[in-house]
Amino acid sequence: MPLARIVTHFTIELVALSKSRTRLMVSFDIKPLNLSARLLVQSLKLAKTSLTKKFKLRVAEFAKTLEDRHKRG
């Protein structure tokens, strides 16, 4: 079975809103490079709603962890 070759671009942006608030924006793009990868990406598209929900929860946990670390110094 051929390997799925995929290129990903992951971006994290922090935007200062005020002294005590910062917006965290996380995004990523997936680009399949061969047929196996296209099939994998198509499967991901079918599961996009559930994957997006899980992704948002994980990003929220990550942001909370960063906030807690910052408060502790």
pLDDT tens for 31-66 read 999 999 999 999 999 999 999 999 999 999 999 998
Q: Provide the token pair at 54.
A: 């899980």
In a domain, 62, yes or no: yes
- The whole domain housing 48 covers 6-72
* pLDDT at residue 2, as a whole number: 73
Summarised one tens digit per residue, pLDDT across range 3-28 is: 889 999 999 999 999 998 999 999 98
Q: Does the residue 22 lie in any domain?
A: yes
For the chain, what is the domain count?
1
Spatial contact of 30 and 6, defined as CB atoms under 8 Å apart: yes
1 in any annotated domain: no
The pLDDT, as a whole number, for residue 17 is 96
**Domain assignment of residue 31, yes or no:** yes
